[in-house]
A = this chain, B = another copy of it.
C-alpha cells in the first residue's frame, strides 16, 4: 500500500536529481581566463584543504561520541533487553553526521565552481550572470534538503522508530555545530585581517590581489557562509521534523501513524514547491536580482500553501494542522522582512547609523548596536504569537499534546520552503566570490559594477534568510522543549509502571510543567541564559586570537616582500601561508566552545535533574534568540551602512565617515558570521541532547539522589 509519507523520499530523490541537473548546467559554463581559473583554483584548493583537515578531526570526535551514545542510549546496553536498539541509535547518529558533512562538502564544491563562472558571465551582462549564481546556490539548497529528508526517511523506514530519527538529527546537528564554529572562525579571521591591514592601514581596495589575506578571505566565504548557513537551516529542518514525529508518537494511539507521517508529507511537498520555485526563478534583460529572489520566495510559499491544503483535504489530515503550518510560514516571512527593515538601505536604522559614522566609529557602533537591540522585538513577538496561535488552533484537536504538535507544525511550515531559502542564501557567497575574482583578475569596472549589484541582492537575501533561520530555530526549539517534556513524562510513566516510583498522573503533570517558580527550573534557567553568551564569547575570542596571528603575518609580508605594496609586476604575496594560519587557528578554536555546549548540558541534567535541564533549555532558548537576533542584525546593519557610505554618501570611500563605518563593519563580522548564526545550532544541539538523555536524566541525577 502507498503510504502518504513516501512522498518524502520521492521528493528528496527528485530534489537531489534537480540539484544534479543544476550542477551540470553550472559545469558546462565557461570558467573564464587563465588568471581567473588560477584564482578560482587557489580558492578551491584552500577550501578543500580546510574541510579535509576539519573533517579528519571531527571524524575522531564523531566516532567517540557515536560509540558512547551506542553504549548508553536509549538505555545502558548492559540493561537493555534489546541491545540492537543501541546499535541502531549509534548508526543513526553516524549516518546523520556523514550526511551533514556530505552536504557541506557538496555546497562548497559547487560554490567554488560557480564563483568564477558567474564572474565571467558578468562580462555578458547581469541577466547572464544571475542564473549561474542562483543555480549554484540551488545545487546546495536542493541537495541539502534532499539529503536531509532522505536521511530522515531512510532511518524511519528501517527502524519505524522516531527516536532513532532523533539520533540521526543529533548526528547532523552536532556536526553542523562544529562545522559552523570552525567555518565561522575561519571566515572572520580572514575577513578581519584582510580589511584591517588592507583597507584601513594601507587603503587598498577590497579583494585587491596584493593583499596576502585575500584568498583566505574568499575561502572563508565558502567554508563559513556556504557550508555554515546551509548546515544551520538543515539542522533546524531535520530537528523540526523529528520533534513533530516524536510529539506525534506521544499522542498517537498504538499503531496509528498519521501524526508521524504528516511532517514528512508536508516537508516533501515543501521540497516540490522549492524545486518549482528554483526552476522558475529568473530575471529579464534589466531585471532586479533582489526582486527576483523575493518573487521566488513568494511563489514557493503560495505553491506550498496550495499543495499542502490539497494534500490535507484528500488525505483527511485535520485542517487545523495545515493552518498551524501556514501560521508558521507567514511568521517566518514577516520576521524575515523585519530583519530586512533593520539592515536595508533607505530605512531609518541604516540612515542613522551611516550618519553617526560622521562623528566617528564610536557613535557608529553605539547607533548600530542600539538598532540591533531594537530589532529583537518584532521577531520575538512574531515567534511568540505564532506559537500561541498554533497552540490554540490545535488545542481543540485533543488537548495540550495536540497543541504542542501544532507549534511543531508551525516550525515545519516555516522550514518547508527551506530548499529555496538555502538556495538564495548560498547565492550570496558565490556572487561575493565572483566579485573578488573579478577584482583580482582585473575584469574591469563594468563587470565589478554588475557583480556588485549581484552582491547587494545577496546581502538583502541574507538579511531575510537570517531572520527566517532564527525564527525557524525559535519555533523548532520550542517544539523540542515540548518533545523533551514528552520524553520526561514517558520516562516518569515507565518508572511508575515498573514500581520504582510512586507518582500520580497529576503529580507527574506538575513535575514536568517547568514552573518558573520551581527552584531547580529557575537555577537551570539562569545557567541556560548564560550559555549562549559564553559560547559566543568563546567563538569571538577565538576569532580575535586568530586574527591577531594573521594580521601580523599580513603586515610582515607587506614589509618583507619587496615591491608587494607598490603592486610591482610579477610580485605575489604568499596566499597559502594565510590560508594555513586561518585553518590551523580555526581548528584549534572550534572544539572547546562546542564541547562545552554539550558538556554543560549533560552536567546540568545529571546534577540538577530533568527540571533543571528543562529550565536550562528554556533559558538558552530565551537568551540564544535574543543574542542571535541582536548580533546578526547589528552586524548586517554595520555592513550595509559601510556599503551605503561607499556609494558616495557622507564623503564616500576614504572619508573619515567611511573609516568609522569600516570599524563598525569589522566589529560586526564575528557578530553576524561567527557567533550569531552558530547560536541557533547550539540551542538545537542542546535540545536534542536533552531529549536523547531525558530518560537517563530522570533516573540518575545528583540532586535527586541527595533527596532534593
On A, residues with C-beta under 8 Å from B are 192, 196, 200, 352, 355-356, 359-363, 365-367, 369-374, 376-377, 380-381, 383-385, 387-388, 391-392, 400, 403-404, 478, 481-482, 485, 506, 510, 513-523, 525-527, 529-530, 533-534, 536-538, 540-541, 543-544, 547-548, 551, 614-615, 618-619, 622-623, 625-626, 630, 663, 666-667, 670, 708
| Chain B contacts for A551, CB-based, 8 A | 359
Task: Tell whether, in the assembled complex, residue B663 and residue A533 are in contact, meaning their CB atoms are under 8 Å apart.
Answer: no
CB-CB under 8 A from A403, the residues of chain B are 519
Known: A359-B196, A529-B625, A530-B626. A387 touches B519 (CB 8 A): yes
Known interface pairs A359-B196, A481-B516; A373-B534 also in contact (CB < 8 Å): yes
A381 vs B196: C-alpha distance in the bound complex, in angstroms?
A: 37
* Cα–Cα, bound, A352→B388 (Å): 45
Given A374-B534, A384-B527, A622-B525, also A548-B356 (CB < 8 A): yes
Inter-chain contact A614/B516, CB cutoff 8 Å: yes
| Residue from A373, A391, A403, A623 whose CB has the most chain B CB atoms within 10 Å | A373
* Bound Cα distance from A519 to B385, whole angstroms: 9
* 21 CB-based A-B contacts, threshold 8 Å: A192-B363, A196-B362, A200-B360, A356-B544, A374-B538, A380-B526, A381-B526, A387-B523, A387-B526, A388-B519, A388-B523, A391-B519, A403-B519, A513-B518, A516-B521, A516-B615, A525-B622, A526-B622, A533-B630, A619-B622, A623-B626
- Residue from B374, B520, B614 in contact with A537 in the complex, judged by beta carbons closer than 8 Å: B374
Residues of B within 8 A of A618 (CB): 516
Closest to A400 in B: B517
What is the CB-to-nearest-CB distance from A201 to chain B, in angstroms, rounded to a whole number? 8
Asked if B514 and A547 sit within 8 Å, CB to CB, the answer is no
- Looking at the complex, which one of B192, B374, B387, B517 makes contact with A533 (CB distance below 8 Å)? B374
With a CB–CB cut-off of 8 A, which chain B residues contact A533? 373-374, 376-377, 626, 630
Given contacts A376-B530, A377-B533, A514-B515, contact A370 B541 (CB under 8 A): yes
Complex CA gap A355/B383 in Å reads: 41
Residues of B within 8 A of A536 (CB): 370, 373
Whether B517 contacts A513 by the Cβ 8 Å rule is: yes
A403 to B522, alpha carbons, bound, how many Å? 13
Q: Are B667 and A366 in contact (CB under 8 A)?
A: yes
The smallest beta-carbon distance between A542 and chain B, in angstroms, is 9
Given contacts A381-B527, A533-B374, A534-B373, contact A482 B540 (CB under 8 A): no
| Residue with the greatest number of chain B CB neighbours at <10 A, chosen from A370, A618, A630 | A370
